[in-house]
């Protein structure tokens, strides 16, 4: 024990001054005192009077102490060995640094940082103010201690400032043939949108460069707004950066935090320039209609400077505090609706509308894009799950009637998952999906073919929502003849309720003109309902629809079959223009309605529709309700 732990040698010397090593009783007590045994065990030793018995109890205690001492010695030896190794490496590194510094091979951290920042600025064209600011910061960095907090803040600032693409830009590809080929490859349909983009690129091709612009793609979910942004970037050969504005409530996300805050960072636009490495990328601002505001600021107001071609050449980020030129950036914004975008912001953007797809376009998209994509994702070949056009049509019409194709893609993915399970369980490489077994994969159809509501007092209207166009039946009935009255149901908004009251007033005043009983509405309680009751509805565009339903009720005469209409009515019977004509026409085609009544003022919007959408449609344009009456009841 003494050889393992030299600390006990002083105690041994003290013992030998008072006792002889040949006294077994004293030696046993001394040995027990050397151990680290607890007090109750030592008390037990003292209480044991017979010498041999006492020595027998002390011996195991000494052996245990020896084992502990040996373990401690092993651990100490290993720790000293490791410490010695680390100390040796540390001293060698420090010596190497000094030798390299003396030979001019290496520099200290501060010098290395400064030279790295200066190297980044070579071949970049900095404005004079930015050059001066960065030089001042470099001088400041050269006198700061590397361990100080201010050094880290200054170094981080210079890191961002020197990574900006000052004067660095990518060369645009301005071939219109290549642009059309790229757009056609990535998107089926949307010919009018492609033509609008080609026109935009043609101007750039003629001028020699595509200057910074702000495009706004508006349409229902799933129609390809984000993917069109990717295609535009690919067509131009520019770098692409996307970030979502949905739910953003802090203007610092756009303009950055000031450097005085701990953990401050530049805004998203500076981050986009850093990541792309060029001053003319394509930046997509997704979901601009869902931007918020809070006590931290209004991001929509911060975007006013960014999206104004007259101002964004001098964009000021709060963190960098330097003027950045965003005039060469192509901004592409996306939105589902326009009414939530602030008017000053909307005024700065060139709006391109993307309406929903008709059935034929959806089938083409499913066959050319969605189905091959899902097969590849599952590691399957096209021949392993063959599907005919009729099956695709049933999927579109029975399970995915929405304006976009996102739900259609989910249904195709569901078929593939179930088909793979079937392949594994049946040990086969091929599964046939057809009209007969489609319900085994997707369940009962969500939408079934049903004849539109028809009869006296029933008229089909056309509506426009953020999800695309939709048909909207309107029902009118006389409840009783005991008293006069008018009731509205269907969860109608204020504007739509007022529109219904205007329609009722006009029809009440002019029912005799259209061949009805002048006293019809004076004697009856009229109930006007717009299904479905749980869905909120608003807007003035159902005015002529409600008026026609009331006239149909008064004349006890149904309107012609396969007819739908939209338009606002006034108290004098004028038919005013409404929005969303493209979406409404597509909704009518989706429901196989081929007769439409539209306001005369919307003829221009209808004429701009692609020929394949206008095909097989008979459209009546109405200036007054007299025109509506003639078209509906002739």
User: Which residues on neighbouring strands pair with residue 218, listed in sequence order?
Assistant: 335, 353
Exposed / middle / buried, residue 285 (Cβ in 10 Å: 0-12, 13-18, 19+): buried
Instruction: Identify the CA nearest to 226 among candidates 248, 245, 211.
Output: 245
User: In the annotation, is 541 catalytic?
Assistant: yes
Give me the residue label for tokens 């890191």. 159
Q: In degrees rounded to 5, what are phi and psi of residue 271?
A: -60, -35
Distance (Å, whole) CA 569 – CA 587: 22
Q: Is the dihedral of CA 60, 61, 62, 66 positive or negative?
A: positive
Exposed / middle / buried, residue 327 (Cβ in 10 Å: 0-12, 13-18, 19+): middle
- Contacts for 117-121: CB closer than 8 Å, 24+ residues apart: 117/158, 117/159, 117/162, 120/162, 120/163, 121/162, 121/166
Give me the residue label for tokens 């909307």. 346
**E-assigned strand segments in 448-493:** 458-465, 468-480, 485-489
**H/E stretch holding 101:** helix 51-103
In the structure encoding, which two tokens stand for residue 453, read together? 């509501």
Cis, bond preceding 447 (omega within 30 deg of 0): no
Distance (Å, whole) CA 593 – CA 588: 5
Residues 6+ apart with CB under 8 A from 110: 141, 142, 144, 146, 151
In the structure encoding, which two tokens stand for residue 429, read together? 């490489």
Distance (Å, whole) CA 616 – CA 589: 9
Instruction: Identify the CA nearest to 224 among candidates 198, 194, 196, 187.
Output: 187
- The alpha helices in 167-207, defined as continuous H runs, are 176-186, 191-207
> What is the distance, to the nearest Å, from the Cα of residue 625 to the centroid of all Cα atoms in its chain?
45
Distance (Å, whole) CA 284 – CA 229: 7
Spatial contact of 65 and 36, defined as CB atoms under 8 Å apart: yes
User: Which residues on neighbouring strands pair with residue 575, listed in sequence order?
Assistant: 569
Spatial contact of 69 and 1, defined as CB atoms under 8 Å apart: yes
- 3-class SS at 213? coil
Candidates 279, 499, 541, 552; catalytic one: 541
Candidates 225, 239, 362, 584; catalytic one: 584
The residues annotated as belonging to the active site are 541, 584
């Amino acid at each position: 024990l003494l050889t393992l732990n030299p600390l006990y040698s002083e105690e041994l010397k003290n013992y030998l001054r008072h006792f002889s090593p040949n006294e077994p009783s004293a030696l046993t007590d001394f040995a027990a005192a050397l151990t680290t045994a607890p007090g109750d065990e030592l008390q037990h030793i003292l209480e044991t009077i017979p010498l041999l018995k006492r020595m027998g109890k002390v011996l195991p205690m000494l052996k245990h102490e020896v084992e502990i001492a040996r373990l401690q010695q092993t651990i100490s030896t290993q720790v000293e060995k490791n410490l010695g190794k680390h100390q040796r490496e540390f001293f060698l590194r420090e010596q190497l640094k000094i030798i390299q510094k003396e030979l001019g091979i290496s520099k200290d951290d501060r010098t290395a940082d400064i030279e790295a920042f200066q190297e980044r600025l070579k071949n970049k064209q900095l404005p004079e103010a930015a050059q001066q600011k960065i030089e001042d910061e470099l001088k400041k960095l050269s006198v700061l201690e590397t361990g100080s907090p201010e050094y880290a803040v200054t170094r981080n600032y210079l890191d961002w400032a020197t990574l900006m693409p000052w004067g660095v830009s990518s060369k645009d590809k301005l071939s219109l043939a290549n642009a059309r080929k790229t757009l056609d490859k990535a998107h089926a349909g949307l010919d009018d949108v492609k033509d609008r983009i080609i026109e935009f690129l043609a101007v750039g091709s003629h001028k020699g460069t595509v200057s910074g612009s702000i495009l706004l793609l508006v349409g229902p979910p799933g129609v390809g707004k984000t993917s069109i942004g990717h295609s535009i970037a690919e067509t131009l050969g520019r770098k692409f950066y996307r970030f979502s504005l949905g739910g953003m409530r802090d203007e610092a996300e756009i303009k950055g935090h000031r450097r005085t805050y701990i953990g401050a960072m530049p805004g998203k636009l500076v981050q986009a320039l850093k990541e792309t490495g060029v001053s003319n990328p394509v930046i997509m601002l997704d979901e601009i209609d869902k931007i918020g505001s809070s006590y931290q600021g209004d991001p929509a107001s911060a975007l006013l400077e960014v999206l104004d071609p007259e101002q964004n050449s001098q964009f000021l980020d709060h963190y960098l505090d330097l003027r950045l030129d965003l005039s060469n950036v192509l901004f592409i914004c996306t939105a589902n609706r326009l009414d939530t975008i602030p008017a000053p912001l909307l005024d700065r953007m060139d709006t391109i509308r993307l309406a929903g797809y008709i059935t034929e376009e959806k089938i083409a998209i499913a066959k050319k894009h969605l189905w091959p994509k899902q097969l590849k994702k599952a590691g399957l070949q096209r021949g392993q799950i063959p599907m005919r056009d009729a099956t695709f049509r049933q999927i579109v019409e029975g399970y995915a009637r929405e304006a976009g194709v996102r739900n259609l893609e989910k249904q195709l993915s569901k078929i593939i998952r179930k088909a793979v399970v079937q392949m594994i369980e049946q040990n086969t490489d091929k599964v046939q999906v057809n009209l007969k077994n489609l319900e085994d994969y997707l369940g009962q159809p969500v939408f079934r073919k049903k004849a539109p509501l028809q009869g006296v007092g029933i008229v089909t209207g056309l509506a426009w929502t953020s999800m695309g166009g939709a048909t909207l039946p309107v029902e009118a009935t006389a409840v009783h003849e005991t008293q006069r009255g008018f009731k509205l149901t269907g969860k109608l908004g204020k504007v739509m309720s007022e529109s219904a009251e205007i329609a009722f007033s006009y029809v009440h005043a002019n029912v005799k003109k259209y061949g009805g009983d002048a006293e019809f509405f004076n004697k009856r309680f009229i109930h006007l309902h717009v299904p479905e009751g749980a869905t909120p509805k608003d807007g003035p565009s159902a005015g002529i629809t409600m008026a026609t339903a009331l006239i149909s009720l008064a004349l006890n005469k149904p309107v012609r079959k396969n007819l739908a209409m939209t338009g606002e009515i006034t108290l004098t019977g004028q038919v005013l223009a409404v929005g969303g004509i493209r979406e409404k026409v597509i909704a009518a085609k989706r429901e196989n309605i081929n007769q439409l009544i539209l306001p005369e003022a919307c003829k221009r919007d209808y004429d701009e529709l692609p020929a394949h959408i206008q095909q097989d449609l008979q459209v009546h344009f109405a200036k007054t309700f007299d025109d509506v009456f003639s078209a509906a009841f002739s």
